[in-house]
Structure 1
Amino acid sequence: MDFGGGEEIRFERLGAAGVVTLTRPKALNAVTHAMVLALTRALSAWADDPEVALVVIKAEGRAFSAGGDILHIYEAGRAGNPPVDFFADEYSLNLAIARFPKPYIALVDGIAMGGGVGVSFHGSHRLMSENAVFAMPEVGIGFFPDVGGSYILPRLKDRFGLYLGLTGARIRQGDAVWSGLASHAVQQADLEAILTALAESGDADAVAARYAQTVPCETASDTLEAIARHFAPDDLDETRSSLRRGAAAGEDFAAATLDTIARRSPTSLRVTHRQIIEGAAIDMAACMRMEFRVVNRMLAGHDFYEGIRAAIIDKDATPVWRPATLEAVTQDVVDAYFAPLERELDL
C-alpha cells in the first residue's frame, strides 16, 4: 500500500490490521515531514475502510523513534525558513491519532522521544516492551515537550508528567504503566505474536490483555513520593523552593533534580511548566493550538538553535542560554509565547 513517504515508512494490510512500520533505523526512525503526511493519508483511508478493524504502528531497528528530524529543522530555521508547515501537519496528525475512531496500537520497542511519542502515545493502546524507553528531553535543547506533550504529561499520575517535562528524565515500562503513560507492558519476544493475533482477531483489548505483563515501577516509592510533593505547586518557583528545602535537609533526589533543572534552558522551563499546567484543563485540540503558538515563537527565538548547536553541531554540551536565568524570564516574556497568532493552527 502506498500512501507516500517513500522508503521512510511502510504500510501493509495484514488481515484485519492496517500496519505502519517506521523504516529509518539508521536515523533512529526520526519522523520527517513526508512520514507525517503519509501516515495522515493512511489514517484517513483506514478510518472509513470496513476491512480495517484496527491500526498497528511499529518500527524497524533498535529505536522506536528518537524524535523529529531536528537537524533539518535547525538548518531550515537558520536559513530563515523555519518549517512551520511541518509542525502544523505534525500536530494535526497527533490530533488525528487521538481522535482515530478505531483501536490504534503502538508497539513501542526501544526509545520513543519527541515526534516518536506523538505518533504512538496518543493511541488507544500503548504497549511497551522491556526494551522501551520514554523521554521528553526538549528542555535540554531549548525547546519544549510538543507533539501533544501538553495533553499527555499533566494527565500522568501524581505530578509525574510535570517532573518528566521539566527534567527530561527517561523512564521504562514499569514507570510508564504505573503513571498511566503505557496501557500495557509486554515482552519483546511476544511482539510478533501480538501483531499476528491482532491481524487475525481484530480485537485489540483481548490481545493486549492476553500478553500483558505485571511489572513493578523502576522508580523507588520514596522518590515517587518526593516527586509528588515537590512538583505539587502550580508555580515553578515554589517547586524550586521546595527542592531547595529538600536538598538542604540532605535529600539526594532534591539536590540532583535542582542540578538537572539548573542546566536546562530557563525559557524552556518557564514555557514548559505553563503548557503542562494549562494543558491539564483543556482538550487535545486546544493543546495542539497552544503548542503551535509556542513553536512559532521558539523557531523565531535563540535557545532552540543554541541547544541544537551545543548538542548536535559542535557537540560541546555547553549551551549559552538567553536569558541565562529563570529570574530573567519574566511573565511578559512567557506570555508572548502563548499569545494568539495571525495564522492559528487550523484543526
Structure 2
Amino acid sequence: MFKLRILSQTKFLIKRTMSSQEADVLFETVNNAGIITLNRPKALNSLNTSMVEKLLPQLREWENSKNLVIIKGAGEKAFCAGGDVKLAMKKDEGPKFFHTEYNVNYLIGKYKIPYIAFINGITMGGGLGLSVHGRYRVATEKTTIAMPETKIGLFPDVGGSYFLPRLQVNLGLYLGLTGDKLKGKDVVKAGIATHFVSSKRLYELEKLLSRCYSDMEVQSLLNKFNEPPEEFSLAPNIKHINYCFAASTIEEIIERLEKVQNDWSVKTLEILHNMCPGSLKITMRALQRGAQLELPQCLKMEYRLAVRSTENHDFPEGVRALLIDKDNNPKWNPKTLADVTDDYVENFFKKLPDDRELKFFDAKL
C-alpha cells in the first residue's frame, strides 16, 4: 500500500512537471484565429529550445487551417526579452536552439496568412525575430525594443542582418551596434512596428481580430485602432546618425562621432567603447552583407556566425560577465578594435561543413 502511494505520488509529480513544462507556450483557437501566448512571464517570456520546437509545427499547421495568427506575451512586462542566452551560448545546445529558432523566423517571414504580433512590453533580440518578419506588429505605450547583442559578445541575429539595414537613414546600423532602445510610438516611426494601439485596447482588438476572415478585414481593423505617431525622439540627431553610420568601418564611425561633439555623440562613443570589439566588426559586416540578401540567405549567414560564436571566447565570456557572475567586466579577446583583424571577422562567415549548415524545414532534398 505504501509502495503504491509513493508510486502514485511520483506519477503525479512527473505529470505535474510535464504539464508545467508544456505551459511555456500556449496555443488556443478563438473563432478564426490561432492565438499563441509566450508563457514564461517570470523570465520575461525569453525563448528556449522547448518553446521554439513547439512553435514551428503549430505555425505550420495553422498556416493551412486558420485565417490569421496572433502572438502575444504573458504578463504585463514583456512580449519576449529574447533568447535564453545562458542556454544559447553552449556549444551543444546553442546550435540546436538557433537552428529551430531561425526556422521559425524563416516561416514567419513567408507566412501566407496574416500574422499579428502584439509587441507589448520588452521586445528584444529573439522577440524581434518572432515579430518583425510578420505582416503586422502592434506596439503600445509599454513597448521597448532593442538589439543589445554586441554587449554580450554576440551580434543582432534572428534576421537582424535583414531587417536592420532596411530601416531608414542608417538607423538599423546605429541600433544594431549600440543596442539603443526605442519606446512606444518611436517603434512605429522607426519602421519596426506597423501600428500603435493603447495597451488597454489590446484585449478588445484581439477579440475583434479573431472574427476576421481576410487580410483586408485585418488591415481595416488595425487601422481603426491605430493612433497617429508623434515626433521621433531621435529626430534631433537623425542627421548625425545618418552621417556617422554611413561610414564603412567601425573606426570611421568613431572618427565621425568625435567630429559631431554633442551630448548624443559623446554618449554614443561611450556605448561603443563598452561593446565587444569583435562583435562590433562582425555586426557591421553582417549588416553590410545582409542589405544585399533576402531573409533566408541572411538566416543562413547568421547561423554560421551563431555556431562560431558558441565555439569562440567572446560570447560565453559576455554572458558570464553580464548575466552569470554579473561583474560587468568582460575580458574580450581580441581586446581592442585594432586587434580585430579582417581574417578574424571572415572566419566567422565561412561555410560550415554541409551536415552543420542551416537547413530549412521545407528545403527540397
Is 1:88 aligned to residue 99 of structure 2?
A: yes
Distance 1:221 1:198 in 2: 33
Q: 5+ unaligned residues in a row in structure 1: which ranges?
A: none
Is 1:57 aligned to residue 71 of structure 2?
A: yes
Tell me what 2:316 maps to: 305
- What secondary structure does 1:64 align onto? strand
Q: After alignment, is 232-241 or 302-311 more displaced?
A: 232-241
Tell me what 1:344 maps to: 357
Match 2:39 to one of 11, 14, 23: 23
Match 2:158 to one of 147, 151, 156: 147
C-alpha contact (below 8 Å) 2:123/2:145 kept by paired residues: yes
Counterpart of 1:99 in structure 2: which amino acid?
Answer: K
- What secondary structure does 1:144 align onto? coil
Counterpart of 1:21 in structure 2: which amino acid?
Answer: T
C-alpha contact (below 8 Å) 1:98/1:123 kept by paired residues: yes
Is 1:224 aligned to residue 238 of structure 2?
A: yes
Is 1:37 aligned to residue 53 of structure 2?
A: yes
| Count of matched residue positions in the alignment of Structure 1 and Structure 2 | 335
Moved over 4 A (4+): none
Distance 1:139 1:199 in 2: 38
- What secondary structure does 1:48 align onto? helix
- Quote the RMSD (CA, aligned, Å): 1.4
Distance 1:216 1:326 in 2: 38
The superposition leaves residues 219-272 of structure 1 with CA deviations (integer Å, 9 ceiling, x where unpaired) of 24221221111111232222111112123xxx2211111110000000000000
Q: 5+ unaligned residues in a row in structure 2: which ranges?
A: 1-19, 361-365
Q: What TM-score, normalized to structure 1? A: 0.94
Q: Tell me how far 1:82 sits from its aligned partner.
A: 4.4
Distance 2:29 2:207 in 1: 12
Matches within 5 A, 1:269-288: 269-288=280-299
The superposition leaves residues 262-295 of structure 1 with CA deviations (integer Å, 9 ceiling, x where unpaired) of 0000000000011111111100000000001101
Is 1:193 aligned to residue 204 of structure 2?
A: yes
Q: Decide which structure has the larger Cα Rg and report it.
A: 2
Is 1:128 aligned to residue 139 of structure 2?
A: yes
Q: Tell me how far 1:182 sits from its aligned partner.
A: 0.7
- What secondary structure does 2:155 align onto? coil
The superposition leaves residues 108-144 of structure 1 with CA deviations (integer Å, 9 ceiling, x where unpaired) of 1100111111111111000001100100000001111
The superposition leaves residues 188-240 of structure 1 with CA deviations (integer Å, 9 ceiling, x where unpaired) of 01100110110112332011101001121442422122111111123222211
Matches within 5 A, 1:227-242: 227-242=241-256
C-alpha contact (below 8 Å) 1:5/1:38 kept by paired residues: no
Q: Tell me how far 1:58 sits from its aligned partner.
A: 0.5
Counterpart of 2:25 in structure 1: which amino acid?
Answer: I
Q: Tell me how far 1:296 sits from its aligned partner.
A: 1.1
Distance 1:214 1:326 in 2: 42
- What secondary structure does 2:303 align onto? helix
- What secondary structure does 2:352 align onto? coil
Tell me what 2:15 maps to: none
Match 1:324 to one of 335, 338, 355: 335
% identical equivalent positions: 39
Counterpart of 2:88 in structure 1: which amino acid?
Answer: I
The superposition leaves residues 28-59 of structure 1 with CA deviations (integer Å, 9 ceiling, x where unpaired) of 1011111111111111111111xx11000001
Match 1:254 to one of 260, 265, 279: 265
Q: Tell me how far 1:341 sits from its aligned partner.
A: 0.7
Counterpart of 1:59 in structure 2: which amino acid?
Answer: G
Matches within 5 A, 1:106-117: 106-117=117-128
When residues 218 and 317 of structure 1 are mapped into structure 2, their CA distance, relative to the original with a 3 A threshold, is farther
Match 1:12 to one of 17, 28, 45: 28
Tell me what 2:82 maps to: 67
Tell me what 2:17 maps to: none
C-alpha contact (below 8 Å) 1:5/1:37 kept by paired residues: no
- What secondary structure does 2:182 align onto? coil
Counterpart of 2:86 in structure 1: which amino acid?
Answer: L
Q: Tell me how far 1:173 sits from its aligned partner.
A: 2.6
